[in-house]
Amino acid sequence: MRPAKVAIIGGGVAGLSAAVTLAHAGVNVTVFEASSQLGGRARGVAYKGLTLDNGQHILLGAYRETLRLLALADAKTSTSLLRLPLSLRVTDLQRNTTLLLQTPRQLPAPLHLLFGLLNANGLSVRDKWFAICMMLWLKLHHFQLEQDQPLLAFLSLQKQTEPLIQKLWEPLCLAALNTPLQIASAQVFLNVLKDSFNQKTQDSDLLLAATDLTSLISTPFANFVTEHGGEVLLNAPVKQITPQSDGYLIATAAQSMDFSHVVIACGPHQLTQITSDLPSLHGLVEQLTYQPITTVYLQYEQHIQLAQPMQGLINSVSQWVFDRGQLCGQPGLFAVVISAHAPFEQTQQALADSVHQELLGLIPSLKQPLWHKVITEKRATFSCEVKLNRPNNQTSYKDLYIAGDYTAGDYPATIEGAVRSGVNAANLLLASA
Ligand SMILES: Cc1cc2nc3c(=O)[nH]c(=O)nc-3n(C[C@H](O)[C@H](O)[C@H](O)COP(=O)(O)OP(=O)(O)OC[C@H]3O[C@@H](n4cnc5c(N)ncnc54)[C@H](O)[C@@H]3O)c2cc1C
């Protein structure tokens, strides 16, 4: 049998994770990336001499596969990731109240969460009681529902009060699933809660990038691949994948190359464009719809700071505000994230103005920003709804796999979901080869 020669189509997190896993196992891999840079939906964006991101990302201590792969690729996570014990500060701008929930490092999970809930500011005794009852119910039921249902319906069944839903569960759902509470899958939300709160205290840590996302993930992963004999091609959009008697022909505009195996790791909406010769793959993503994420960057004077690196807002357009001065050495630069939103009717300037007005509620002395930059990713993630039929990494075609945050798995569309899918596709390939 000739040695495996693997084409990986897509240099996002999933494709690179598959490439790292295969290269580590000594397999010959070639990554084809359509764009001029790696990272896909998690990438740095050059602007005004700074490197921003296409969207501010939060990682969790529970992202085990991501952390394992970053360690394997010798990424300098001690300096590129800021690890903070879970601390949520969520301000209701209209009622001028703030929820402050902090979990202590010294207590084992899930006692740290229990302590955090009991001592939270901004919740009544009744709110705390029902939140704790729900966490106990979840522990008792191993965070597993008999039948999936919309998260809002589940929270209502669990008698979660309006302040709890508004200040705690909805902001967490938007951050984790990028899907409105009314339609979000309760089971997928519980999977993330389980991973974060049910094992080690550090699993609920917030991991915030202290650098841009390309430097954090894509660069160390790509370096690992090339150091292990693989190839990473940029500006190399694959046009066609054609099955052959013993493998696949991969055609780009510049060349056609033979491979024994293929991992397709493009985004779900890009799948049909390159698979006209692979009709069984066409129906796989029909069921998916997408949710946008907009990030509004506002540059203030360098001394301007938030009370902590990350701040939630409710009853406002802005949802999460990140202080990039405290995170990644970009003083005075705030990244304001708006998830799962309806299309904006106003101009980018008007949106930036509205966000600035809201930030005045946090820092009344704020002067007009020096500049702003609005980045909207229209298909940031798939809409993580109830009972989605997500495709498996194994396909009906021999030696051809798919990877991506949308493939079957416990996680929503996240870095961890993408890494797990890439690793799983690579492991299936290794097992069969
Ligand atoms: C604004 C925003 C904020 C987010 N926030 C978070 C967060 O806080 N935490 C979190 O964990 N996750 C977050 N996510 C989700 C996370 O970024 C994604 O789940 C993850 O990056 C998806 O990776 P992927 O490899 O599956 O897909 P993609 O990143 O879409 O990668 C697919 C790659 O394939 C390439 N490609 C497509 N077609 C071809 C072709 N024909 N030939 C060659 N290459 C091709 C694309 O250019 C792309 O690079 C966020 C996403 C966005 C957009």
Out of 32, 172, 234, 415, mutate this one to test ligand 1's pocket (max ligand atoms within 8 Å of CB): namely 415
Give me the domains of the chain, ranges plus CATH numbers.
Answer: 5-44+59-78+210-288+385-432 (3.50.50.60), 98-204 (no CATH), 290-382 (3.90.660.10)
In which element (H, E) is residue 153 found? helix 151-157
Is 122's pLDDT higher than 70?
yes
Instruction: Give the residue, by CA position, lying nearest to ligand 1 atom 53.
Output: 380
- For the CA of 39, the closest atom of ligand 1 is 49
pLDDT recorded at residue 76: 87
Is 1's pLDDT higher than 70?
no
User: How far is residue 95's CA from residue 194's CA, in Å, rounded to a whole number?
Assistant: 32
Which residue pairs, CB below 8 angstroms and at least 24 apart, start in 247-255? Answer: 247/5, 247/399, 248/7, 248/399, 248/400, 250/7, 250/9, 250/32, 252/32
Work out the pLDDT band at 77, boundaries 50, 70, 90.
Answer: confident
Q: How far does the centroid of ligand 1 lie from the alpha carbon of residue 392, in Å? A: 18
Q: Dihedral angle at the C-alpha atoms of 175, 179, 184, 190, nearest 10 degrees? A: -20
- For the CA of 14, the closest atom of ligand 1 is 25
- For the CA of 267, the closest atom of ligand 1 is 30
Is 374's pLDDT higher than 90?
yes
Is 99's pLDDT higher than 70?
yes
Residue 393 in 3-state DSSP? coil
Is 399's pLDDT higher than 70?
yes
pLDDT tens per residue across span 196-207: 998 999 999 999
Q: How far does the centroid of ligand 1 lie from the alpha carbon of residue 120, in Å? A: 35
Work out the pLDDT band at 144, boundaries 50, 70, 90.
Answer: very high
The residue among 59, 114, 111, 120 whose CA lies nearest residue 87 is: 120
Average of per-residue pLDDT across 299-304: 97
Is 32's pLDDT higher than 90?
yes
| Average pLDDT taken over every residue of the chain | 96
pLDDT recorded at residue 387: 87
Q: How far does the centroid of ligand 1 lie from the alpha carbon of residue 357, in Å? A: 31
Instruction: Give the residue, by CA position, lying nearest to ligand 1 atom 51.
Output: 380
